[in-house]
Amino acid sequence: MPKFGYVEILQKTLIDPCIKGTLNVLRSCAKASSPVKRVVLTSSCSAILYRFDVQKQQTSSLNESHWSDPDYCTRYNLCYAYAKTTGEKEAWRVAKESGIDLVAVSPSFVVGPLLAPQPTSTLQLILSIVKGTRGEYPNTTIRFVHIDDVIAAHILAMEESKASGRLVCSGSVAPWTQIIELLRAKYPSYPFENKCSSQEGDNNAHSMDTSKIHQLGFPEFKSLPQMFDDCIKSFQDKGFL
């Protein structure tokens, strides 16, 4: 068990549900009276990105063969990444034992229109930046992907017989200052108070190799302007802006 502080709460509210929920589905599929042809798992690039060699600039591009290091996640209190990494590894173990055809889609930071009544944690972060209520935050370089691309990747993983293993689903890369500049130019009526602690993005390796999913026929990912235009319009339509 990782020593994150508040460990019991994190274990019960984040880590256990992530792992147990995934395993419950796979075990139910293994017991189904009619054979389940394939299971498509929503994983995350968080199960790929967080590694000591990335921090030390020993690798420049990450792909489906890479895994986040649980020890790295523990050291830096990356609870979500720890849960997604552990959960996906357990899913692959059970799938192998049960003979289940498993394909895992690994999205990065998902942006686009709201699909729920309230913003998710990722969209809430964007909303707080747009409204100028975030406070100071590091100018981290982020990998973004449109929700429409994430949905399309899941459909591809389900329907394409050649799909197998893990599929990285990640589009554009940008630091928060670039995102703020992009949005401020299009939507000048909002504060966009820039409280980045540094005007340069962090220097950690951030490139994600998406050649595998493109080889299956996946089109080019939607652009940053498309992602954030759809996101802002959705905030407006739902009364959050």
Q: How far is CA 78 from CA 133, 140, 181, 194, in A?
A: 24, 15, 28, 25
Reported as type and span, the H/E element at residue 151 is helix 147-159
Three-class SS of residue 93? helix
- Type of residue numbered 26: L
Catalytically annotated residue among 84, 186, 195, 222: 84
- The answer for 180, left when phi > 0, alpha when psi is -120 to 50, beta otherwise, is alpha
Phi, psi of 109 (to 5 degrees): -75, 110
Active site residue 96: no
Which of the residues are catalytic? 84
